[in-house]
């Protein structure tokens, strides 16, 4: 017998079919939800990756910006150093050199206040931003602590030595550096009140150290130039004094020489008159104008006449020497018989030698020949003659 189908059965069938359809739909939705969850998870991973990349990019950008600022700051400091070197390259005055450190340079270095204390005269060379009482206090503190800078190139507010300066310079950052060359400290360079709130950078410390070293070399060069200039002036003064002494001595020598020349000329003229008379009388006696003479006496008179002639020649020579010294006579050079000259000198000096009992010494002809050869060869190799 067939199973009767009632409306309830139809409703159950529809309900079952609906449940089956809803089951398939739900399964499909679950699959879609699962896929969406996977997609969301992938998106979250991508978001995290992008966020990490963005952070890296931002970090790199910040580092690049900081590096760029640091490079620009270093370039600015190098430009500052270049301008300072150019403006002070040929300076030979200490005050002009210290005057180059103005407010603009101090601000470019990153500070608002500056003080430069010269240790040679204990004077403030540069002051920017400090009042009079602060200047005096800082000057006294720096002067008493100057020995510490012989071994230190740079001191900061953290240094034990600089703690006394904190009330005057503040805690925003300050530096103290010696301006020195080798071991000689010329001045102390104080920079205070850092413009930024951050700590003083290494680049700022380096550029300040370089500037102080350069200023120390400039001051050392100026000191050496001043010493050289003083030495030059002293040398010029000594040269002038010595020249004046030489000129004075030369004038005295010229006066003495003129007096001597005048004396020789006067004496020579005075000697000429009696010699002329003696020569005339001796010539008359030799010519036997007053009677016949014995041969021995006549020979003696000839010698007297010859010696008188030589005396006249000597007087003339004295006159010639006086003329030569006064520039009024030229020496005439002519061929001469040296044997005859030596014989005449011997005849002229013989009576005096006999009177003083000076004997004649024999000579070796060979040795004398050798001596003359050496004299002539030496003179030929070391003396040059010119004709005018």
- Asked if residues 126 and 114 have their Cβ atoms less than 8 Å apart, the reply is yes
* pLDDT at residue 23 tops 90: no
* pLDDT at residue 380 tops 60: no
Taking only the tens place, the pLDDT of each residue in 220-266 is 888 888 889 999 999 999 999 999 999 998 888 888 877 877 777 77
Taking only the tens place, the pLDDT of each residue in 118-138 is 887 778 888 998 888 888 888
* pLDDT at residue 216 tops 60: yes
Q: Record the tokens describing residue 320, joined without a space.
A: 């010639």
DSSP conformation letters of 175-217:
EEEEEEETTEEEEEEEEEEESSSSPPPHHHHHHHHHHHHHHHH
Give residue 234's pLDDT.
92
Give residue 236's pLDDT.
92
What is the rounded average pLDDT for all residues in the chain? 79
Residues 6+ apart with CB under 8 A from 170: 192, 193
Question: What is the residue extent of each domain of the chain?
Answer: 25-89, 92-200
C-alpha separations of 370 from 259, 271, 361, 364 in Å? 43, 41, 18, 10
- Asked if residues 190 and 114 have their Cβ atoms less than 8 Å apart, the reply is yes
Q: What are phi and psi of 359, to 5 degrees?
A: -80, 155
Q: At 25, is the secondary structure helix, strand, or coil?
A: helix
Give residue 235's pLDDT.
92
* pLDDT at residue 210 tops 60: yes
Give residue 182's pLDDT.
74
Claim: this prediction has a pTM higher than 0.95: no
Angle (CA) 275-279-285 rounded to 5° is: 145
Q: Please give the residue that has the higher pLDDT: either 113 or 122.
A: 113
DSSP conformation letters of 244-298:
HHHHHHHHHHHHHHHHHHHHHHHHHHHHHHHHHHHHHHHHHHHTTTTS---HHHH
Give residue 387's pLDDT.
47
Lowest mean pLDDT among 78-92, 317-331, 369-383: 317-331
Tell me the CATH number of domain 92-200, given options 3.30.450.40, 3.30.365.10, 3.10.310.30, 3.30.870.10: 3.30.450.40
Taking only the tens place, the pLDDT of each residue in 32-60 is 888 888 999 889 999 999 988 999 999 98
- Asked if residues 212 and 228 have their Cβ atoms less than 8 Å apart, the reply is no
């Amino acid at each position: 017998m067939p199973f009767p189908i009632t409306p309830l059965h139809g409703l159950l069938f529809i309900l079952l079919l609906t449940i089956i359809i809803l089951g398939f739909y739900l399964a499909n939705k679950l699959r879609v939800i699962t896929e969406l969850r996977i997609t969301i998870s992938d998106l979250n991973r991508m978001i995290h990756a992008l966020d990490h990349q963005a952070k890296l990019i931002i970090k790199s950008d910040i580092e690049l910006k900081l590096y760029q600022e640091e490079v620009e700051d270093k370039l600015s400091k190098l430009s500052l150093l270049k301008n300072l070197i150019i403006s002070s390259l040929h300076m030979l005055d200490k005050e002009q050199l210290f005057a180059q450190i103005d407010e603009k340079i101090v601000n470019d270095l990153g500070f608002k206040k500056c003080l430069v204390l010269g240790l040679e005269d204990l004077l403030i060379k540069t002051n920017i931003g400090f009042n009079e009482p602060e200047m005096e206090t800082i000057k006294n503190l720096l002067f008493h602590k100057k020995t510490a800078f012989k071994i230190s190139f740079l001191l900061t507010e953290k240094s034990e030595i600089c703690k006394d300066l904190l009330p005057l310079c503040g805690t925003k950052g300050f530096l103290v550096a010696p301006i020195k060359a080798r071991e000689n400290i010329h001045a102390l360079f104080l920079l205070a009140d850092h413009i930024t709130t951050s700590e003083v950078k290494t680049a700022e410390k380096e550029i300040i150290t370089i500037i102080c070293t350069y200023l120390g070399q400039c001051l050392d060069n100026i000191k050496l130039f001043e010493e050289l200039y003083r030495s030059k002036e002293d040398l010029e003064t000594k040269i002038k004094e010595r020249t004046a002494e030489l000129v004075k001595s030369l004038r005295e020598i010229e006066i003495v020489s003129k007096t001597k020349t005048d004396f020789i000329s006067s004496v020579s003229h005075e000697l000429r008159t009696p010699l002329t008379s003696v020569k005339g009388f001796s010539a008359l006696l030799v010519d036997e104008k007053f009677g016949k003479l014995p041969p021995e006496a006549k020979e003696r008179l000839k010698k007297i006449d010859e010696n008188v002639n030589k005396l006249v020649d000597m007087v003339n020579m004295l006159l010639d020497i006086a003329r030569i010294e006064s520039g009024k006579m030229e020496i005439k050079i002519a061929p001469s018989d040296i044997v005859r000259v030596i014989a005449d000198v011997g005849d002229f000096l013989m009576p005096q030698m006999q009177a003083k009992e000076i004997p004649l010494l024999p000579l070796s002809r060979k040795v004398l020949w050798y001596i003359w050869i050496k004299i002539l060869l030496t003179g030929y190799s070391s003396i040059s003659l010119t004709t005018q």
